Chains A and B, each alone.
Chain A
Amino acid sequence: MAEDLRRRRFLAYLLAAPTLAVAVQWIDPQRADAAVPTLPQPEEIFDLGDLQNLAAAPTANLVSVQVNRDGSVAFAVPRAEVGQGITTAVAMMVAEEMDLPLDKVTVTLADARPELLMNQLTGGSNSVRSIYTPVRTAAAVARQRLVATAAKQWGVKDSELTTRDGVISHASGRTATYASLAVAAASSKVEAATVQLKSTSDFTVLGTPQNRIDAREAVMGRKTFGMDMQVPNAKPTMVRRPPTINGTVRSVNNKAAVLAMPGVTDVAVVSRGVAVRADTFGQCIDGLRALDVSWGPGTVDGESDETVLAKLKAAELPMLVPGLLTEVLDAEFTFAFASNSPLEPDNAIADVRKDSAEIWSSLKVPIVAQENIAAQLGLPIGAVKVHVAQGGGSFGRHLFHDVAAEAAEISQKVGKPVKLMWSRTDDFRQGRTHPMCTSRIRVTHALGNVISYEQRHTSVQTEFSHGLGEMLTSFAAKLPIAGNLSFAESIFLLTQSSPYNFGVTTQLLNEIPLKFNTGSMRNIYSPNVVTAQELVVDRLAAKMGKDPVSMRRSFLRDNRLKAVFEKAVTEGQWGRALPQGVAQGIAVHAEYQAAVCCLVEIDCRPETVDRPVTDGVTGPRVTKALIVVDPGFAINPRGLEAQMIGGMNDGIAMALTSSLHMRDGIPLEGSWDNYFYTRQWNTPLDMRVVIAPSGGTPSGAGELAVAPSMAAVACAYARATGTAPTYFPINHGTLGFEPYPTEPSTPPSPVNGLDS
């Protein structure tokens, strides 16, 4: 790939602008075309990220690098930053191709740009993959233009000049800063230019570990998240919500009394509850708690874990291979509802006027938000400005714009700007969930060979209304999938593939149309599908008289997977002596054009499981976690390591502790002491990331570590306890907390915070 890049020239445009500005097609159409495979193929060569690239190509529009008069360079990336490090990666790309110090590059988040169509979606671990070439091309053309401008002024050849740290130099000793040339290098008309990109071997920034460009702001408390933004008169607003999911308001019985409460300015019935606007969020909480509301039914009233599971089991697709002449292994796993709540609660600012509207929110698909909100408000799309705010996490939540649409609705109703926040309890109970699902697997084997591997994944429907659907519709004809598959089935096929030589392999999805508020959660299907798969591989190994490592060694297909697997086996000291009740587990995963292997050790001894932590779940502890990742090329190894660490903590939580308990139409969880995401007392004391790039282009990273770590923890638990778990997370059967009442929907804040 490096060779290809060296030979090829890439196209960009000099824009007519006061200072140098270089724009580029957001996606290189040639690369996308080349990615269309000729045969029906699974995830491994044409995955979700490729699909997104492909969909982007013909509709791509221009994004630009701008050189400012002070020599700094600005780039507005049409993506969301929610902690995954995209702004830092983009700044590195610009710094690299421009020979500019990293701190001279400013990366902001672009507003919704409808002309980019589906090319403004942050998801599927696709961002770095899709912007790597376009951003570098724009930066390289900018550098080329600055050099040409200096050469012309000095009467020398371009080739006699060198660039370093934002300064152009000539052998004569003459120098010029980019700042001094920013105006002179500007173009008076739009003009095409081509450029060669640096080869990987010449990189000095890309591929080196860099800190996040916003780290200093973050540790000083100055990073401005959506929750921290100030818009004039956008007062705190919250919503009293129904006692069941998507319940409706029948009547508000004491509106005047609540309006008279201290600080309260407005009370309004909206689609999903009753909004209270006040001087402080604290007064919103008091106001919404004081409301007397009569509620109508929701969309899943009466549904609980057990009823949903029964419906899933009834919808499971049949296996095709009978086990008559071979040995058969059947397994079935259940995965509870889970919450993708980020720490920053859902929030949005909306200022809706008669003829226009302005929205601020962390949005991964801002164009769809803009289109839908415009329709909802009865305004033309162009009259709705949508700004993308810095997000305090997402994990899939911000693919949806529920909170932005609700803020717009409230602002329109009360005729004033609002700053809407969902309470933590709202986030868990009425926010998006990863749906409950089951995975059945049947494997047949004979004479040391695996004859067939069938996996039937059955899920409460995952909502994809955030817009991926448009892409698929547009490109259905080009997809290497025959037949009239539903959207979810297509996504399933594009993201899932078995890494093993297990003979006839089929992996199918079926969904049941229950109206929960669902969505992706740091991946869509992989953590569940891979956990089921890897547990079965371990069981199969036992049946065939092999250990988990020798089994995988025999059947792994892909060379990159084999490489990370062998490295993990060595680095993680597979098979080392451990006390009774402590065991290792290993799992592999390939997705987003990356290969990854996780090896963990779990301590399931009673003294660990029963260690006391107030209001927390202890249980088994993962004491060591190692992940070996082949990202192709690691743009920022330090950022990649961070994503791996975070992904492993997610996988640990999903295997052991974190789930929603659905009961009578609503989750019981209402706080972080109910929803047991990994805490300090759960996290491994020894966590290691080994980056083993095999070369080529960068893979996705954001979701990559979750599936293999969840699977490895499950496998380790099975080996440590001698009991293969079938329901996840493992502690789901025990309700370890006293649920908050469902009414009022937000609990009061305590008053005893100085007592301890």
Chain B
Amino acid sequence: MSSHTFVLNGERVTVEVADDVRLLWVLRDLLGVTGPKYGCGLNVCKSCTSHINGKAFNPCSVPVSAIKADDEITTIEGLPATVGQELHPMQEAWLEQDVAQCGYCQPGQIMTAVALVHRVRAEGRAITDADLDQIRNICRCGTYSRIRTAIRSGAAKM
């Protein structure tokens, strides 16, 4: 056991756990933050997508010891706080399109979408079909077309 400190959704947290436990389980099993989902634990399905210092990443594939004390981890629960609203514009767009079916993948999809918009903006361009084609997040209910529409709509309001 060792002590690990980082910033989670705006608050500094400290947990006692072995170094190699992946961050996903620290979030879900020890801190009770269940927005990031397990869909494979192999960095494939992307259901656990969250942000580290504003960039998308998959906590299923990061040992907790790799997180530094000042790293800011944002899960779906902390997403709206970044703009001071109850819902982030991307979440609003998801509601407009009624994207979710079972909803299991959608927190990860939304976190991926927000990071994509930021990345594309930083590159000074608009989202293309090729950008959307590169999203790896699985939706086993097959909501892909509504996800694409929602991302474009959410991006316009971000």
Contact = CB atoms under 8 A, between A and B. Distances in A.
Contacts, number: 226
Contacts of B146: 642, 645
Contact of A227 (B34, B52, B105): B34
A683 B146 CA distance: 11
A729 interface: no
B10 interface: no
Contact of A220 (B26, B29, B76, B99): B76
Contact of A646 (B1, B76, B101, B133): B101
B158 interface: no
Given A283-B21, A751-B66, 19 more contacts: A83-B141, A211-B95, A214-B100, A219-B87, A220-B91, A221-B75, A221-B107, A224-B34, A230-B32, A282-B20, A392-B104, A393-B104, A395-B140, A424-B40, A424-B41, A615-B44, A646-B143, A672-B40, A677-B140
Contacts of B42: 424, 671, 673, 747, 749-750
Interface string B12-47: 000001101110111011101011111111111101
Interface string A714-756: 0000000000000000000000000000000011011111100
Contacts of B77: 220-222
A753 B58 contact: yes
B18 A262 contact: yes
A262 B2 CA distance: 11
Contact of A754 (B1, B66, B103): B66
15 contacts: A221-B35, A221-B36, A263-B18, A280-B30, A281-B41, A345-B38, A392-B37, A392-B102, A421-B38, A613-B133, A646-B143, A671-B44, A671-B45, A680-B136, A751-B66
Contacts of B61: 749-753
A672 B63 CA distance: 22
A673 B60 CA distance: 16
A225 B59 CA distance: 19
Most buried by A among B42, B62, B132, B139: B42
A620 interface: no
A681 B145 CA distance: 11
A342 B139 CA distance: 9
B25, B80, B99, B140, most chain A CB atoms within 10 A: B140
A219 B138 contact: no
A211 to B, nearest CB: 4
A72 B41 CA distance: 40
Contacts of B6: none
Interface string A209-249: 00110111111111111011010000010000000000000
Nearest to A647: B142
A747 B42 CA distance: 8
Contacts of B106: 218-219
B95 A216 contact: yes
B11 interface: no
Interface in B101-139: 101-107, 110, 129, 132-139
A679 interface: yes
B98 interface: yes
Pick from B75, B132, B141 the residue with the most CB of A within 10 Å: B141
B140 A684 contact: no
B140 A285 contact: no
Contacts of B138: 343, 672, 677, 679
Interface of A: 82-85, 211-212, 214-225, 227-228, 230, 236, 262-263, 279-283, 285-286, 341-345, 391-393, 395, 421, 423-424, 613, 615-616, 638, 642, 645-650, 671-673, 677-681, 683-685, 687, 746-747, 749-754
A223 B103 CA distance: 8
B98 A211 contact: yes
A282 B24 contact: yes
Contacts of A217: 103
A681 B128 CA distance: 13
A342 B42 CA distance: 16
B87 A645 contact: no
A681 B61 CA distance: 23
Contacts of B144: 645, 649, 678-680, 683
Interface core residue of B32, B35, B40, B129 (most chain A CB under 10 Å):
B40
Contacts of B36: 221
B102 A342 contact: yes
B141 A646 contact: yes
> Size range of the interface on B?
35 or more
A393 B103 CA distance: 8
Given A393-B140, A645-B145, A751-B61, A225 B104 contact: yes
The DSSP consensus for interface residues of chain B is: loop
Nearest to B135: A680
A282 B91 contact: no
A638 B62 contact: no
A263 B16 CA distance: 11
B76 A343 contact: no
Contacts of B41: 281, 285, 423-424, 746, 749
| 4 residue pairs, one from A and one from B, having the closest CB atoms | A221-B35, A83-B102, A649-B142, A392-B104
A679 B145 contact: no
A343 B18 contact: no
Contacts of A646: 101, 141-143
Contacts of A683: 142, 144-145
B140 A341 contact: yes
A694 B152 CA distance: 34
A481 B37 CA distance: 47
- Which of B1, B138, B145 has the most chain A CB atoms inside 10 A of its CB? B145
B52 A262 contact: no
Contacts of B103: 83, 212, 214-215, 217-219, 223, 392
Nearest to B26: A280
Contacts of B142: 645-650, 678, 683
Nearest to B80: A220
B35 to A, nearest CB: 3
A366 B1 CA distance: 40
A679 B137 CA distance: 8
Contacts of A283: 18, 21, 25
Given A227-B38, A679-B136, A751 B100 contact: no
B146 to A, nearest CB: 7
Given A753-B57, A753-B59, A343 B134 contact: no
Interface in B52-91: 52, 57-63, 66, 75-77, 80, 87, 91
B34 A221 contact: yes
Contacts of A341: 140
A222 B78 CA distance: 12
Contacts of B110: 219
Contacts of B143: 642, 645-646
Contacts of B58: 753
Counting chain A CB atoms within 10 Å of each CB, the highest count among B37, B80, B129 belongs to: B37
B35 A642 contact: no
B94 A219 contact: yes
Given A220-B77, A263-B18, A642-B143, A215 B98 contact: yes
B76 A221 contact: yes
A141 to B, nearest CB: 31
A218 B60 CA distance: 20
Contacts of B87: 219-220
A421 B40 CA distance: 11
A88 to B, nearest CB: 10
Nearest to B136: A679
A4 B66 CA distance: 67
Nearest to A653: B142
B34 A344 contact: no
A753 B66 CA distance: 10
A648 B139 CA distance: 13
A117 to B, nearest CB: 27
A681 B133 contact: yes
A384 B38 CA distance: 28
Contacts of A642: 98, 101, 141, 143, 146
B102 A391 contact: yes
A684 B141 CA distance: 15
